[in-house]
Amino acid sequence: MRKMREKNPTSYELLFGPAHPGSGNFSVRLRIEGERVVSARADPGYLHRGFEKLMEYRNAMQNSVLSDRLCILEPLNWNLIHAEAVDELTQEEIPEKAKYIRVLMVELSRIQSHLIWYGAMSMGLGFDTGFKIAFGYRDYILDLFELITGGRVYPAGYICPGGVRRDLPDSAEGRIRKVM
C-alpha cells in the first residue's frame, strides 16, 4: 500500500492480487480515501496452460477427463460445460436420469466450492475455526464424490458427452440425504 502523491494524506492506492494468496489470478487496483473506496480497476489476469492445444489431439471422451483439470475447485462444472458443448454439436439426446444426476453433481460441486470460499475467507480474516468448519463440511461432499465418481478431487470425467459415466451407486441416495 502506498500513499497517493496528492495533497490528501489519507488517500492510498492498494494493489490486491495476483501475488496476494486470496486473489488467485485476479487482481484489483483500489483507490482509497480514508475508509472509502473511491475507484476500483479490475484485471481478470491471464492464465494459459495449453488445454486447448491438448484437446485438439484427443476425442470427446478423452477430453471429458481432461476438462476436469481446468479448475480444481469445481471440476464437475467444467465436465458439464464440455459435455453439453459436445452434446449440442452432435445433437445427442441425454437420458432424463442422466440430466438429473448431472444437476445433482454440479450442485454438490457448487456447495463445496462455496465452502472453499468461506474457509479461505475465514482464514484470511484470522477466523481459523471457520476455515476448519468449512473444510470439514466440504470433506463430506468429497466423500460423496469419491463414492459416486471414484475420485475425491478429480472426478475422471464423470459427466461426459451423452450423459454420465455410470449410474449412482445404491448407497448414494442415503449418503447424500445424510450430508444435506
The answer on pLDDT for 2 being more than 80 is: no
| The pLDDT of residue 167 | 96
- Per residue in 65-105, pLDDT tens? 888 888 888 899 999 999 999 999 999 999 999 999 999 99
Query: What per-residue confidence (pLDDT) applies to 27?
Result: 76
Report the alpha-carbon angle 50-55-59, nearest 5: 170
pLDDT tens for residues 110-129? 999 999 999 988 988 889 99
pLDDT the model gives residue 1: 46
Residue 5 pLDDT more than 80? Answer: no
- Closest listed residue to residue 1, CA positions, set 18, 11, 13, 19: 13
Q: Which residues pair with 36 in a beta bridge?
A: 33
- pTM score: 0.74
Q: What percent of the chain has pLDDT over 90?
A: 53
Ranked by mean pLDDT, the top range of 38-52, 94-108, 121-135 is 94-108
Tally: H helices and E strands in the chain = 6, 6
Helix (H) or strand (E) holding 38: strand 36-43
**Would you give the DSSP letter of residue 175?**
H
State the DSSP code for 23.
T
Quote the percentage of the chain above a pLDDT of 70.
Answer: 87
